[in-house]
Amino acid sequence: LLPSLLVLLSSLLFLPCVFYSQWYIDELFAAVRNADARGETSLRELLSHDFWGNNLWGEGWTHKSYRPLVVLSYALQYWFNGGTIKPQPLRAFNVLLHVTNSMLTHRLVLRLGVPRHWACVAA
């Protein structure tokens, strides 16, 4: 219970970001201006693009940042919100996803036999 509480409390550090109503510059390019993130491309195309929507193997610039699950989560948020996306729900979803991953990491590390305090640090 204590490690889960620590993970939840540490996630409160991100609360100001969740309530900030403007887009950060990375979000503009990754979520708002990216056709993949808006769900306007096929899954096959999405899987061949970098995080920013640029073709990984074609002409043009890319820094090979490959994060298809993140882009898919943006596309799902667009779909759930009727084709629009707002900064606060996007960030709240991301914080929730990170909290969930931290809790799962804690449980996995404990099952691997790592002492509790180190499992908490890992989470």
Q: The tokens 């890992």 sit on which residue?
A: 122
Read off the pTM. Answer: 0.77
Q: What is the 3-state secondary structure (H, E, C) of 48-106?
A: CECCCCCECCCCCCCCCCCCHHHHHHHHHHHHHCCCCCCHHHHHHHHHHHHHHHHHHHH
Q: What is the pLDDT of residue 9?
A: 83
pLDDT digits (tens), the chain, 123 positions: 677 788 778 878 888 888 888 888 888 899 999 999 999 999 999 999 999 999 998 788 888 899 999 999 999 999 988 888 888 888 888 888 888 888 899 889 999 999 988 888 887
